[in-house]
Structure 1
Amino acid sequence: MNHPPQAGRRPRIAIAGIGIESSAYAAHRAGYRDFPVLEGTAVLDRYPFLAPGSELREGATWIGVLVTKAIPGGQVLAGVYEDLRDRIVAGLREVVAEGPLDAVYLDIHGAMSVVGMTDAEGDLVAAVRDAVGPEPLIAAPMDLHGNISERFFHEVDLPTCFRMAPHEDAWETRERSARDLLAWIGRDDRPVRAWVRVPILLAGEQTSTRVEPARSLYGRIPAVTGRAGVTDASIWIGYAWADEPRCHASVIVTGDDEAMVAASAEELAEALWDVREEFEFVGPTGSLDEAIDAALAHRAAGRARPYLISDSGDNPGAGGSGDVTWTLTRVLERADLVGSHDGVPRPAHDLPLTYVASVFDADAIGELCQRQVGDAVDVTVGARVDDRVSGPVRVRGILHGLYTDPVAGRVAVIRAGGVHAIVTEFRKAFHATDDFARLGLDPGEADLIITKIGYLEPTLHEVAQGWTLALTPGPVDQDIARLAHERIERPMFPFDDFETAPRLRAEVAGSGAERGSR
C-alpha cells in the first residue's frame, strides 16, 4: 500500500541514477572519467522541468542524491559501479533518516553492463529498494534500447521509456515520468503494471521511429495511454550488443485497471511481434567502399553537399570502443581521397573535402601537441584499446589544427590530401554539426563526412544531402549474428525460426495483483 503524504506536507522525492549503454563486445571499460557526478542542487539543475518556480519543482521537495551519465561504451569496471551504487544507497539512507520519503526518481539508461555481473540495473534498483524500504514509489525513465529483467520489473513501480529513435523526446519522457510519479504519490494504491517479454532482438538502426514499422508501432501508444485505467505504455526494443538473459524486447503498461493494463500490454506486444519481419535499416546500407563510391558519384553529379557515411561498427553512441581504426585505415588507402603521395601527401585541390571522425589516442595527441600547426606530421594512431579488427594506423599529413573540447580533451586535425582526420585525447561521439564546427570544420563545406554513428542524429540528419549506413566491423556490428550471443534466451527472432507464435501473455504486478503470470 502506498501511503500519501500527510495533509500540508509536500511530497519528498529523491533523484538518483547511473546511466550508460554498455556493449559487451567493446574492449573499452568505463571508469571514473566516464561518469561525471552530479550531487545535491546540481542534480536538480540538470532537469529543465525542475527549474525554480516551475510547477513540478513547487509540487514536491526534490532531493538530489547522485546522478551520473556516461556516453555509451564498454562494460563498467566493477569497482567503479559498486562505488557509485553505494554512494547512492548511502545518500538515500540519509534522506530517509531526515524524514519520510515518498518516492525515488531513478534516472537510468537500461542497458548498463558491469564486469562480472548480470542485470546491473536490476542490482541497482534492488539496492535502492533496500535503502528506502517497501513504501516509496520508484519511477524509472529509460532509453527504449534498455533491457527489462524480472527483478527490475518487480521493483520499479513506474517504468517508462522514450518513444522516438533518435531520442528527440528524451527530456519529454523524463518530464512525463516526473509528472506521473507526482500524481501517484497522492493516491492510496500503487500502480498496476503488466509486462510482456517479446522474443525479438534487433539492432537500433533497424528500429528507428523515423521509418516503418516502428513509426506506426510507437504511434499506437497515445491511444493506449488515453484509455481509462492506463497511466503509461512503453515499448522497449532492447539492446542487442549485450549478452544477458534480459536482452529482448519488452512491453510494459501501467495504470490502476488490472484488466485494461494487461490487455493493453498484450495488444502492443502482439503488434510488435506481427511486424517483426518488416524491420529494416533506417537508411541505405553498403560496405565502406560502396558508401565512398556513392559519395563520390554524388559529388561528380554536382549534387549538394555534404554526403554522410556512418561508420556504424564502432559507434560510441551505441557502445563502440571509439578507437577502432578499420575505417580510417581504408580511407587513407584511397588515392581518390588523399591523392598520390611519396612520404607526405601532397594537397590536391580537386579532391573531395572529407572529414573523418574520430579516433581517440592520448599518446598520439601528446606527440602531436609538441608540433606546430602547419607542420608535416607522421604519427601512429588508434587501436590502443580495441585492436581486434584492425591495428594502429599510420597517418601522414599536415597538422591542420589543434583544439580543446570539453569531452574529447585535446584534439588534433591532420590533413592528408582532401582527408581531415580527427584524433582526440579521450572518447567522443561526433554526432552533431557543432562537434565539427568547434574544430573549425564547417559541415556545410564538406563533400563527405565519415563519422562513427549509426542512424543520423538530428543536426546531421538535417544537413545530409545523401547518406549511406556503412556496415563496418566493430563492437557494435550491425550484423548481430556475427556477435555470437551465448546467454540470451532462445528461441529469439531473428536468430531462430518460430513454427508457432510465442505466447505473449502479461505478467502482472502491483496493487491487487499476484506476482506471476496471468
Structure 2
Amino acid sequence: MNAAATRPRIGTGGMSIEASAFSPHRSGFEAFNFTKDDVLLSRYTVLSPGHVNHDASVADGATWVPLVHARSLPGGMVEPVVYETLKAELIEMIHAQGPFDGFFLDIHGAMTVVGRQDAEADLARAVRTALDEVSAKAGSPRTLVSATMDLHGNVTSDLVEQCDLITCYRMAPHEDEQETKTRAMANLIARLVGGMGAPAKAYVRVPVLLPGEKTSTRLEPATGIYEAILPIEASEGIVDASIWVGYAWADEPRCYATVVVTGDDAELASAKATELAARYWDARAEFQFVAPAASLDACLAAALAPGASRPYLLSDSGDNPTAGGSGDVTWTLTQLINDPRFSDGGPRTVVASVFDKEAVAACFDAGMGSGIEVTAGALVDHVHSGPVTLKGIVLQLTEGDETSGRVAVVKIGSIEAIVTERRKPYHQISDFAAAGLTVTDADIVVVKIGYLEPELFELAADWMLMLTPGGVDQDLIRLGHKHIDRPMFPFDTEMSAPDLTATVFPAIPANA
C-alpha cells in the first residue's frame, strides 16, 4: 500500500490575537493577515524542509491540509464582522475539504470580540460541530482536534470540552512557540496512528489573574512551576500538562489561570492537575515583576544616576502593542520632552514609538535635517493622553519595513523620537536599524514593551519596567475590571482558599 495513503489527513486553521478590553482601539480587517495554502503551512517551522526545526516524523507523518488562519498583532477588541467572516470561511472550508482524521486548531486564547463572550470556545465549538457533521456524512470516524495556545490565554471548561488535545507555551518570553506547535502536532499524529482516540482531560480553574510581566519563566516562582510540568508529562498514562497564566487585560468571566492535564490515566491526570493548580495558588503572592518596576519618575532617576550602565532600557509597559496596547499613547514621550534633563546635550535617548501617518508625511515633506514642528500620536488612544508636539530636527527618514511603513525620527533636545506610519513593536535590533538608528551606543532606550524580548534583554546593560498608563496598564487594580468572577487574587487578597478539585472530561474511544 502507498505509504501516503496510510498517513492521517489533518486540517489546520484558526484565529490568533491578544485583544485588550481597556484599549479604545478596535481590530478590523486591516489588523489581520489571512493566510491559506503553503503560506499558512509556512507558519510552522517543523513542516519546513531545510529549517533547523524541521522534523520529518511530523512533516511526513501526516498529510497537512491548510484551510485558513487569521493573525493580528495584539490590539483592541476584534470587530464582530472580522471574527464572523473568519469563522464562516473556516467552517465552509471544513465542509468542502473534509472529512479529516485530525484537526490542528491554531488559536491564541486571548481574543476578545466586541459583544461576545469566550470567542475561542465559540470558534472551537463551531469547528467541532462542522467536523462532526462532515464525518457523519462520510461515515468516517470522529475527528480528533488538537489546539495550541499562548500561555497568556483564558481557558474555559467549554473550550477544553471542544478540544481533544490542548496545550500552551511553557516559556515567557515565548521562545518555545514553535516547539509547542510541534508538540501539539506530534501528539495528534501519535493518537491517530496509534488508534488511541481522545484522552481524558483534567481541568482546574485557579482564581488568580496576573500580568505576564509578573509571571515570566525567567524568574521564580514561575521557573519552578513550569519545570514541574516535565516530569508529569513524562509519567506513564499522561500525554500533556499545561498551565495558562491568563490574559489580564480582557474583562470577561473567563479571565483566570488554568491548568489542564491530559492522559489515558484519568485518575492520575486529575491528581496532577490539582497538584499543579495548588502550587500555582500557593505561590500567588510570590510573583514579582520581571525587572525592578516603578513610576516613570523613579525609573528616570535610576537611569540618569551617575554611573548608571549603558544602554539603560526602560519599558513603557502600559502601551505595549504586543500585549494589546494601541501603540500611540504619548504620555511617556510627552513627559520626557517636558523634562529639562533631556534638552540639548542631555543623554542620547531613543524613544520607540508612536504611529501617525500624517506626521510621517510632514517629516518627509520637510526633508532630513530640516526643522519641524508637528503633532503626532493619540489618534487611537486619546483616553490616556493627547497628541504630542514634536519641535525639533528631522534626524532620519527611511522606508521602514512592512509592519511600520515609512518611518521618521525627530530629534527634540537629546531625544530621538521614532514615528511610524503604522503600529509597530520594537523588539529587535533590526527594528531600530530599519528606522536608521543604532541603539548599542545609546544612553537610554525607551520601548513599548513589558518584559524584554531576547535581543533587547541582551542589549540592556540595565533596565527597569515603568508603570505607565495605557490599555495594558500593569496596575490591574486601577484598570477597573467589571466582569471578572470574584473573589479573585490580587483583587481580593483576603479570599479563602479555592476548591482546586479537577473537572475530568472522560476519554473518547477511537471508534466513537
- State which of 243, 264, 270 in structure 2 corresponds to 1:256: 264
Deviation, 1:150, is 2.4
- For the 8 Å contact 1:491–1:498, the answer to whether it is kept is no
Deviation, 1:368, is 2.1
**Structure 2 residue aligned with 1:14:** 11
Instruction: Give the structure-1-normalised TM-score.
Output: 0.93
Counterpart-to-counterpart distance in 1, 2:421 and 2:7: 47
**Residue 439 (str. 1) matches residue 435 (str. 2):** yes
Task: Kindly provide the CA deviation profile for residues 205-259 of structure 1, in whole angstroms up to 9, marking residues without a partner as x.
Answer: 1111111110111110101101110010000010110011110000000111111
Deviation, 1:304, is 4.2
Task: Kindly provide the CA deviation profile for residues 61-100 of structure 1, in whole angstroms up to 9, marking residues without a partner as x.
Answer: 001111222111100111111111111111111111xxx3
Deviation, 1:183, is 0.5
**Structure 2 residue aligned with 1:407:** 403
**Structure 2 residue aligned with 1:85:** 87
Counterpart-to-counterpart distance in 2, 1:358 and 1:421: 7
Counterpart-to-counterpart distance in 1, 2:241 and 2:353: 38
Aligned to 1:369, the other structure's residue is in SS state: helix
Aligned to 2:6, the other structure's residue is in SS state: coil
**Structure 1 residue aligned with 2:121:** 122
Counterpart-to-counterpart distance in 1, 2:482 and 2:177: 31
Deviation, 1:266, is 0.6
- State which of 151, 175, 196 in structure 1 corresponds to 2:158: 151
**Structure 2 residue aligned with 1:49:** 46
Deviation, 1:498, is 4.3
**Structure 1 residue aligned with 2:362:** 367
Task: Kindly provide the CA deviation profile for residues 416-444 of structure 1, in whole angstroms up to 9, marking residues without a partner as x.
Answer: 12110001111111122221122221121
- State which of 491, 494, 500 in structure 1 corresponds to 2:496: 500
Name the aligned partner's letter for residue 209 of structure 2: L
Counterpart-to-counterpart distance in 1, 2:151 and 2:382: 30
Aligned to 2:120, the other structure's residue is in SS state: helix
Aligned to 1:444, the other structure's residue is in SS state: coil
Counterpart-to-counterpart distance in 2, 1:154 and 1:470: 39
Aligned to 2:425, the other structure's residue is in SS state: coil
**Structure 1 residue aligned with 2:332:** 327
Name the aligned partner's letter for residue 17 of structure 2: I
**Structure 2 residue aligned with 1:483:** 479
Name the aligned partner's letter for residue 308 of structure 1: L
Name the aligned partner's letter for residue 278 of structure 1: E
Which residues of 2 match residues 270-281 of structure 1 at below 5 A?
270-281=278-289
Name the aligned partner's letter for residue 57 of structure 2: E
Name the aligned partner's letter for residue 104 of structure 2: Y
Name the aligned partner's letter for residue 327 of structure 1: T
Indicate how the Cα distance of structure 1 residues 46 and 480 shifts in structure 2: closer, same or farther if over 3 A, else same.
same
**Structure 2 residue aligned with 1:382:** 377
Name the aligned partner's letter for residue 491 of structure 1: P
Counterpart-to-counterpart distance in 2, 1:7 and 1:64: 17
**Structure 2 residue aligned with 1:291:** 299
Aligned to 1:318, the other structure's residue is in SS state: coil
**Structure 2 residue aligned with 1:102:** 101
- For the 8 Å contact 2:397–2:436, the answer to whether it is kept is no
**Residue 69 (str. 1) matches residue 71 (str. 2):** yes
- For the 8 Å contact 1:103–1:185, the answer to whether it is kept is yes
Counterpart-to-counterpart distance in 2, 1:388 and 1:421: 21
Counterpart-to-counterpart distance in 2, 1:166 and 1:395: 33
Counterpart-to-counterpart distance in 1, 2:105 and 2:187: 13
Indicate how the Cα distance of structure 1 residues 7 and 57 shifts in structure 2: closer, same or farther if over 3 A, else same.
closer
- For the 8 Å contact 1:154–1:509, the answer to whether it is kept is yes
Deviation, 1:291, is 1.2
- State which of 174, 181, 194 in structure 1 corresponds to 2:188: 181
**Structure 1 residue aligned with 2:215:** 207
Counterpart-to-counterpart distance in 1, 2:396 and 2:197: 61
- For the 8 Å contact 2:404–2:424, the answer to whether it is kept is yes
Counterpart-to-counterpart distance in 1, 2:309 and 2:325: 30
Deviation, 1:7, is 10
Name the aligned partner's letter for residue 472 of structure 1: T
- For the 8 Å contact 1:308–1:467, the answer to whether it is kept is yes
**Structure 2 residue aligned with 1:311:** 316
Indicate how the Cα distance of structure 1 residues 499 and 32 shifts in structure 2: closer, same or farther if over 3 A, else same.
closer
Deviation, 1:8, is 4.8
**Structure 1 residue aligned with 2:276:** 268
**Residue 194 (str. 1) matches residue 202 (str. 2):** yes
- State which of 448, 455, 458 in structure 2 corresponds to 1:459: 455
Name the aligned partner's letter for residue 405 of structure 2: G
Instruction: Give the structure-2-normalised TM-score.
Output: 0.94
Q: What RMSD over aligned residues (CA atoms) do the two structures have, in Å?
A: 1.6
Task: Kindly provide the CA deviation profile for residues 118-165 of structure 1, in whole angstroms up to 9, marking residues without a partner as x.
Answer: 111011111111211171111111100000112211101111000011
- State which of 15, 36, 40 in structure 2 corresponds to 1:39: 36
Aligned to 2:358, the other structure's residue is in SS state: helix
Aligned to 1:370, the other structure's residue is in SS state: helix
Task: Kindly provide the CA deviation profile for residues 26-67 of structure 1, in whole angstroms up to 9, marking residues without a partner as x.
Answer: 111111121111101211122110124833121110011112
Which structure 1 segments of 5+ residues have no match? Answer: 1-5, 340-347, 514-518
Task: Kindly provide the CA deviation profile for residues 449-476 of structure 1, in whole angstroms up to 9, marking residues without a partner as x.
Answer: 0011001110000110111100001111
**Residue 141 (str. 1) matches residue 136 (str. 2):** no
Counterpart-to-counterpart distance in 1, 2:433 and 2:340: 26
Aligned to 1:172, the other structure's residue is in SS state: helix
Which structure 2 segments of 5+ residues have no match? Answer: 50-54, 134-141
Name the aligned partner's letter for residue 257 of structure 1: D
**Residue 168 (str. 1) matches residue 175 (str. 2):** yes
Name the aligned partner's letter for residue 56 of structure 2: S
Deviation, 1:292, is 1.5
Task: Kindly provide the CA deviation profile for residues 160-189 of structure 1, in whole angstroms up to 9, marking residues without a partner as x.
Answer: 000011111111111111111110112243
Aligned to 1:251, the other structure's residue is in SS state: strand
- For the 8 Å contact 1:144–1:237, the answer to whether it is kept is yes
**Structure 1 residue aligned with 2:61:** 59
Q: Percent identity?
A: 49
Counterpart-to-counterpart distance in 2, 1:468 and 1:108: 31
- For the 8 Å contact 1:307–1:447, the answer to whether it is kept is yes
**Structure 2 residue aligned with 1:342:** none
- For the 8 Å contact 2:367–2:394, the answer to whether it is kept is yes
Name the aligned partner's letter for residue 20 of structure 1: I
Name the aligned partner's letter for residue 503 of structure 1: D
Shifted more, 182-191 versus 137-146: the winner is 182-191
